[in-house]
Amino acid sequence: MAVKALYDYDFPSADRAELFGDDQLVYVHWDGNPFFCSAAAFRVPRTMPFGTFVSDVVGPWAASDPDFDPATVGGWRLFDDEIHASPHASLADLGVGHKGLLHFSTVPAA
């Protein structure tokens, strides 16, 4: 996102990718959930498998909503593009880069 400063902006960003080594920041937004009104940021390894990311990072965060049911999670998107991720593919393999934004939604159980 471009930033328009009202003065000379002459210093590097404090959250630039090179400061994170083998890790990266990934934002996650639960679409349509009023409990989480904005995306959350997580520092994770680029090589983390998507399935591990969902179960070990997203799951515990989302579980702070008492209505969360991990079996209803789906509709994953990277920014605006739908993704069908293998649980074994790494975040890097899926194109999730530093400050990438993943969205998901839940479908109520029938």
CA distances from 24 to 46, 82, 90 (A): 6, 21, 12
Say what the alpha-carbon torsion angle 56, 59, 60, 63 is, to the nearest 10 degrees.
-170
- The one-digit pLDDT tens for each residue of the chain (110 residues) are 787 889 888 889 999 999 999 999 999 999 999 999 999 999 999 999 999 999 999 999 999 999 999 999 999 999 999 999 899 999 999 999 999 999 999 986 66
The strand pairing partners of 105, in sequence order, are 74
